[in-house]
Amino acid sequence: MLSVEQLTKIRRDLHRIPEIGYKEVKTQQYLLGQIAQFPQELLTIKKWKTGILVHVKGLDSSKTIGYRADIDGLPIVEQTSYTDFRSTHEGAMHACGHDLHMTIALGVLSYFAHQQPKYNQVFIFQPAEEGPGGAKPMLESAELIEWKPDKIMALHIAPEYPVGTIAIKTGLLFANTSELFITLKGKGGHAAYPHTANDMVVAASHLVTQLQTIVSRNINPLDAGVVTIGVIKGGTKQNIIADTAVIEGTIRTRSIETMKLIKKRIEDLSKGMETGFNCSISIDYGANYCQVYNEESATNDFIEYLKGQESVNLVICDEAMTGEDFGYFLEEIPGFMFWLGVDSKYGLHDARLEPNENAIGFAVQTIVNYLAK
């Protein structure tokens, strides 16, 4: 079984080579290289695009337990204090903890490669969680269908909790999500002749402001929704009126109905902008993820096990407006996701995220003990 020192080295190696969704070529090679060093007698390995599936033969083949880890990084320029294991891929970073997710999965897998598990296991190293989404196509692939688990689990690091904490709840854990890409097209021109043009920087600014009214004025205050605009781009030079602008964001809701309502409002507001600014607006919803909904009996079984572990600080948490395409696995397979405390001053998607690596050994031990019970 991999030692804590080996696991730390693996996490740092992976941290150096973050790759964006479906470009996880070096990551896949690295993971395959590690898995090749485990005893192979119980293992069967398959590749799926840039992901990997590893089947572990159990003593009893009547059931298969799935464990999923996501493997992609984010387009972020790293600003951590790391000196010797910073990202070597300029403009990419493991800022959502997937380097830890992969390392923990390898740690658990290495244990069961040495120690035959009770039931069959499938370790799923899934690409493109941050977008465009690897879970759904992976679930539909022949590779996964052949080894479809009867029960599944996954974790996500949580910077806000100390190491030793596992936070979980039954039912809704993460939101429904939709990406949002809006392109505004009008007429550009000379900065000194605004009456001859149709400024898309001004139109985009108005639209961003109007989008803020959806949650505050269209969503029942007892429900919840998020419309976050993360990108606004437009124009080429300070003295040229822009003919194009782009707005990019994400929508989060607790229900599909609210997601539909928010999209309808975005479309209505955009139509109004088209008339008001005499421009054309196109909307693309990019990747949509279903909610992460923890199945009651599988989750309660894990919670009961955690209650008996002195090393675990168990938190029954609230749902969060984060998204995760692991929700697609949970739509088809009973199981759960949980938060793993990693005690970082900076949060997920922050260029300064520095998870405490002590969480790795804790997580591997806790999961191994749970699966071996």
Ligand X SMILES: CC(=O)N[C@@H](CCC[C@H](N)C(=O)O)C(=O)O
- The number of residues that bind ligand X (CB under 6 A) is 14
The reply to whether 349 sits in an annotated binding site is yes
User: DSSP assignment of 159-220, as one string?
Assistant: TTS-TTEEEE-SEEEE-EEEEEEEEEE-B-EETT-GGGSB-HHHHHHHHHHHHHHHHHHTS-
Check 70, 72, 78, 325 and give the catalytic one: 70
Minimum separation from the CB atom of position 193 to ligand X (A):
39
Using CA atoms, how far apart are residues 39 and 2, in angstroms rounded to an integer? 12
Q: What is the CA radius of gyration of the chain?
A: 23
The nearer residue to ligand X, 199 or 324, going by C-beta atoms, is 324
Contact present, 156 and 248 (Cβ < 8 Å): no
- Looking at 73, 131, 134, 327, which residue binds ligand X (CB under 6 A)? 131
Please identify, using beta-carbon distances, which residue of 135 and 279 lies nearer to ligand X: 135
Least Cβ distance, residue 119 to ligand X (angstroms): 28
98 is in an annotated binding site: yes
Of the two residues 158 and 204, which places its CB atom closer to ligand X in the complex?
158
Is residue 238 a contact partner of residue 278, using CB atoms and an 8 Å limit?
no
Among all chains, which residue has been given the structure tokens 């009893």? Answer: 60
111 binds ligand X (CB under 6 A): no
For residues 229 and 249, the answer to whether their CB atoms sit within 8 Å is yes
Which member of 19, 99, 130, 343 binds ligand X (CB under 6 A)?
130
Residues 289 and 13: their CA atoms lie apart, in Å, by 30
Q: Which stretch binds ligand X (CB under 6 A): 9-17, 33-41, 219-227, 321-329?
A: 321-329
Other C-beta atoms closer than 10 Å to the C-beta of 40 total 11
Contact 49, 116 (CB under 8 A): no
Q: Are 7 and 107 in contact (CB under 8 A)?
A: yes
Residues 339-358 that bind ligand X (CB under 6 A): 348-349
Cβ within 8 Å of residue 264, ≥6 positions away? none
CA distance 42 to 32: 15
* 343 annotated active-site: no
Site for ligand X in 174-203 (CB under 6 A): 177, 179
List the catalytic residue out of 24, 78, 129, 130. Answer: 130
Token pair for 321 = 């407006």
Sole residue written with tokens 């199981």: 335
Mark whether 70 is an active-site residue: yes
Position among 89, 98, 136, 156 found at the interface with ligand X (CB under 6 A) = 156
Residue 192 CB contacts under 8 Å (≥ 6 apart), including other chains: 239
Lay out the site mask for ligand X across 72-101 (x = CB under 6 A, - = otherwise). Answer: ------------------------x-----
Answer yes or no: is 130 a known binding residue: yes
Determine, following the binding rule CB under 6 A, whether residue 18 of this chain makes contact with ligand X. Answer: no
- Our finding on whether 250 is near ligand X (CB under 6 A) is yes
Catalytic residues: 70, 130
Residues that bind ligand X (CB under 6 A): 96, 130-131, 156, 177, 179, 250, 287, 289, 322-324, 348-349
- Feature table: binding site for Mn(2+): 96, 98, 130, 156, 349
